[in-house]
Amino acid sequence: MQTGQFGNYNGGRDLLIKLIPTIFMVVLAIFMSVQKAHQLNITDASDQVRSDIVEAFNEEVKEAEDGYPEAARFFGAMAESDNIQTTALYTILLKADPEFPYPESIDIDEVGTTEENLKKAREHEYYMSRDFYPNISSTAAEEGIADVYNGMLRCFKADTYQEMIFDETGDLTSSAISVGNYYVCTNCGTITVKAPVLRCKSCSVFKWKLEKF
């Protein structure tokens, strides 16, 4: 895939259209539940919500090459995005327990070839954006735990954009690939392949808050 062909975002738009029902339900849940108890935060949450946010945190920590420059830059951008998400979730956990330990290590899948790593990463982002966050955030929404739900929504949106990047870039191990640059929002972790005109597509901070890879 050549750089000139990369401007075609039909695949990404189609994916976004498919996600509209999920995104709508997420926004509706926030409006219906969090508005009802907008002062609640993780200190008011049930054990289930606390367990859910710990699980989400561990998943993001776990996400944190073989000489393929495009794949290497892509993984660098992904790592920065996941680091931003991890920091956001950890900040929430510290509200509930100021002594909550940041893991020194966490079990991860065995590292394979670049092709294998890309495949695993693609499958994981699909799982996180289509299954994990929509399901795990439901209890927080029902209880009106705003900071937990908003944190998960933020990670859900970032992982959704990561999944779209996979669809847009194609085979990053091909020597013919020249994507250009990846832009990571340092506020929410969203990755794009085109610098926004003014603001991040996801959280609306100004574009100078984005880091280029």
pLDDT digits (tens, 9 = 90+) for 96-152: 888 888 877 655 555 667 777 778 888 888 888 888 888 888 888 888 888 888 888
Q: Considering the entire predicted model, what is its pTM?
A: 0.68
β-bridge partners, 206: 199
The pLDDT, as a whole number, for residue 183 is 92
Q: Which residue type, as a one-letter code, is found at position 100?
A: F
Run of H or E residues at 212 = strand 210-212
Lowest mean pLDDT among 18-22, 134-138, 172-176: 172-176
Q: Is the pLDDT of residue 32 over 60?
A: no
DSSP assignment of 140-174 equals HHHHT-HHHHHHHHHHHHHHHHHHHHHHHH--TT-
Tell me, letter by letter, the H, E, C secondary structure of 88-134. HHHHHHHHHCCCCCCCCCCCCCCCCCHHHHHHHHHHHHHHHHHHHHH
d(CA 141, CA 11): 31
β-bridge partners, 210: 185
pLDDT tier for residue 31 given thresholds of 50, 70 and 90? low
Run of H or E residues at 77 = helix 69-96
Start-to-end CA span in the chain (Å): 19
* CATH of segment(s) 3-178: 1.20.1260.10
CA-atom Rg of the chain in angstroms: 18
Q: Is the pLDDT of residue 17 over 80?
A: no
Nearest to 156 by CA among 32, 13, 27: 27
d(CA 23, CA 21): 6
- List the Cα angle 6/11/12 in 5-degree steps: 85
Across all residues in the chain, what is the average pLDDT? Answer: 76
